[in-house]
Amino acid sequence: GAVVSQHPSRVICKSGTSVKIECRSLDFQATTMFWYRQFPKQSLMLMATSNEGSKATYEQGVEKDKFLINHASLTLSTLTVTSAHPEDSSFYICSATRDQYNEQFFGPGTRLTVL
């Protein structure tokens, strides 16, 4: 159990377009989901914490108007990169927690390339 999926696995888009990434918990209900970003050979940086039915909490330095997060249900959170630019190219990873557990289960990640 505790499988998290992401879609798409990779996306290439033109500068100025918006891209939506989905994160789903497949076999459990996730009240909390997290979105991370990873640059090559660097650590995973937490972007925001997403709770079902409420607004996401963004980390310092993360533009909430650029990275729109919607946690519509207990099994789905979406990250929309609006007006994407080449500097937004990165590996985006989501994770989800089950109730009362500390452990986060990670999705396989989405490679975004903005041309």
Binding site residues, another protein, CB under 8 A: 4, 6, 32, 34, 41-46, 49, 91, 93, 95, 102-109, 111
Residue/partner pairs of 43-52 with CB below 8 Å, 24 or more apart:
44/93, 47/79, 50/77
Q: Are 115 and 13 in contact (CB under 8 A)?
A: yes
The residue (of 32 and 82) whose beta carbon lies closer to another protein is 32
What is the nearest approach in angstroms of another protein to the Cβ of residue 43? 5
The residue (of 18 and 32) whose beta carbon lies closer to another protein is 32
Q: Scanning the structure block, which residue is given the tokens 């990250």?
A: 79
